[in-house]
Structure 1
Amino acid sequence: MVRKAVVVGAIGRRRKILKDVLESKGSKVICFVDNICSEREYDGVPIIRDFEIEEYLGDFDGDVYLTFPTIDDRRRGFAEGVLSRFKGNIRVYNYRETYSFHKEALFLARELGDYWLSKNYDRERAYGVIEMFSDEKSKVLVSNWIAFRETLDLSLIPDPEGDQYLPRDVPLIDSIPDRYSLLDLGAYDGDSLVFILSKLEGLGKAMDLYIAFEPDSRNFNKLRERVRELIDRKVQNTKFLLLKAGCSDEYRVLALHSDWEGSRLLDGERDARVDEWAYTMVADDVLNNVRVDLIKIDTEGFEMRCLRGLRKSIWKSRPIIAVSLYHRPEDIYEIPEFLQQLCRDYSFYLRVHSTFFMGTVLYAVPKLR
């Protein structure tokens, strides 16, 4: 008997991979549930929103596969809302069960080049950075990152933590002055700005200056609108500089590609669609000796280039740095090695804020400021 199946939350080609694996074992995927994707169909299967479940599925009996952890409030709320709309008899598989029972999907994703599963990195150098980190938790995370890439053993994946860019168990708050400046590289739509502003405001700290780089036109327009709303509401004393540009270690015009994973600058990649063209700038030149207290970097693979373009500012300002380490497998050692050479008296921490070691962030905290 064919089991009907609904997949909740898988994105891009991972949808097709999981669908193919499930159907090879006798299930029939009848729809995907996704509130973010703008598409309404993928590989012949409808994509519906959570509020369409009752209308589309009725008294569905079958299996529901979650493809994300339900640790934080946002994901938990979405999952609970989705599951509450099913009226029939369902068997729910959490994301660990989904991929443990159908592990072939992970191996297929790796074969197709998913960067979050790639083994294309220097294991010896990865092991070599473990002792650079200042706490045992970070050292274990790096060790498990390496082991997971080799084995795809889901037991090695940590549960994602909240408070990305200001994690509670990393001692960085005391290094942020009462009036601080934030450099946001890969600002997206301003989501990190809002979180950091609110979090630090609750601790009695006020943002004096915000400088943002964002090359994607749609994201930049959303960022600009969000900043206007903030100015209207409560942050009239904050100075804002918003730059529609990417950040790098050189000035160039590069193609930009947008898809279900976000938008990224292309340099030598010939198989990706060009959606627009974007400038890259060197942040050191923009800052021009302006003191910066906190730097957040999430630039879809350009993190190392951003850091190379920030050498002078990091050396002079000694800021806290929160930089993503998951867009290129070699970043797990290249970025710590680079920062250790540049920041001799810093402490380094690693935290994971999303599934499968995506959302892995390196926190570099000065011992003295």
Structure 2
Amino acid sequence: MKRYIFGAGIQGKAFLSALSKSDVNVDGFVDNFSSASTCLGLPIVKPEELSDKHFEILISVGLISHVIKKRMMSEGFTRCLDFTQSVLAYPGIIHELKTKSMWWHDNVEERLNLKRISKFKSLLSDTKSIELLEQIVRFRTAFKPEDYVIPQLEETQYFPSDVDVFSALDDIRFVDAGAFTGDTLKALWNKKKNRCVSGIACFEPDIHNIKKLQEAAKRLDISRNLYIYPAGLWSTMALLSFDSCVGSSSAITESGGNTTIPVVSLDDSVYHMAPNFVKMDIEGSECNALKGAKRIIKDFTPVLAISLYHKPQDLWEIPLLIREYCDNYDMYIRVYGDMLLETVLYCIPKK
């Protein structure tokens, strides 16, 4: 049976490496956007160029692999495996991808501080979160397929149906840290129901994303209550090195960035709006940004939706830091991406 990998990018190449090590034959790559004709010695074709719709297609593109599978199936392809199905069918892919994951560290003690993770576990408020944390620890330890965390693709990230992020909010004063091109704003607008949104502060340092963010706000007709800060978030005001990747992975770096950006703290910039919902997905700067939001967390106890996966220690350092600032939170975790990407901590004010 012929077999193709959908996506000729970094993860597609990792898929090929893992399959080759397991003596699994791959006949080529399927890619709609690549301008190259080959990748690592194999042909790159477009879906319409495949003569047989029964070839096995392994989708290496994370986060939207289920969308790609649905489209491919609608076009008549019968053997499409989304990202999760691919790594479970060929577990060697897990071991190939683990070292490319942001939460990876080759020192297990750096990857897993079990004493501090135990403290975090004691703060979790539902069985699902506790079991999920235990599964994450097992997966980070042994990388067994049976411990692979299947992402909640059917849920809306930052606004899940099984964690009521709006329960304590009559109106919404929202901080979107890492606003990207407005994807979270769209989700907020779809999920807010009849609640009034009285203010939104978006932080997005990448100039390539800001124009699209402005356009998204205009389409949603929310520009009157929206303030866009062309800056990153940090513990203090500063100028820092920044790697602008023209995408969702642009990040502050210690050195070697391709530009310099201003950064500010939430306490210095939006304390006056008394935020009651703060979302952060800022590519590893979450701990520093939370330190710069200490007064807001202490004084207003906002709902928090914070990414936990960019650094190995984020899994325990972020929740324990928040607990240090405020002990009036119920905490939950959920996973929305493959290989533990898009792991989110929710902190909901106790009633």
TM-score by length of structure 2 reads: 0.88
Matched residue, 2:252:
266
Contact 1:12 1:260 in 2 (8 A): no
Matches within 5 A, 1:197-236: 197-200=189-192, 203-231=193-221, 235=222
Pair 1:128–1:80, CA change in 2 (3 A):
same
Matched residue, 1:135:
126
Distance 1:204 1:182 in 2: 15
Pair 1:247–1:34, CA change in 2 (3 A):
farther
- Counterpart residue type for residue 101 of structure 2: D
Matched residue, 2:92:
104
> What value does the CA root-mean-square deviation take over the aligned residues?
2.7
Quick check: 1:341 aligned with 2:338?
Answer: no
Shift of 1:327: 0.7
Pick from 173, 177, 186 the counterpart of residue 178 of structure 2: 186
SS in 1 for 2:180: coil
Matched residue, 1:166:
159
Pair 1:107–1:296, CA change in 2 (3 A):
same
Quick check: 1:115 aligned with 2:102?
Answer: yes
Pair 1:106–1:261, CA change in 2 (3 A):
farther
Contact 2:205 2:261 in 1 (8 A): yes
Structure 1, residues 200-243: CA drift from partner, whole Å, max 9, x if none? 0xx21121111010011111111011112222xxx46x411101
Matched residue, 2:51:
58
Pick from 221, 228, 231 the counterpart of residue 245 of structure 1: 231
Contact 1:65 1:94 in 2 (8 A): yes
Structure 1, residues 56-89: CA drift from partner, whole Å, max 9, x if none? 222365321134689xxx75443121134356xx
* Identity rate, percent: 24
Distance 2:44 2:246 in 1: 14
Distance 1:154 1:217 in 2: 40
Pair 1:84–1:133, CA change in 2 (3 A):
same
Matched residue, 1:306:
289
Distance 2:248 2:313 in 1: 20
Pair 1:65–1:363, CA change in 2 (3 A):
same
Shift of 1:298: 0.4
Pair 1:241–1:22, CA change in 2 (3 A):
same
Contact 2:180 2:213 in 1 (8 A): yes
Number of corresponding residues: 344
Contact 1:256 1:263 in 2 (8 A): no
Pair 1:44–1:21, CA change in 2 (3 A):
same
Distance 1:176 1:290 in 2: 15
Pick from 260, 273, 277 the counterpart of residue 294 of structure 1: 277
Distance 1:38 1:334 in 2: 42
Matched residue, 1:28:
26
Distance 2:212 2:266 in 1: 22
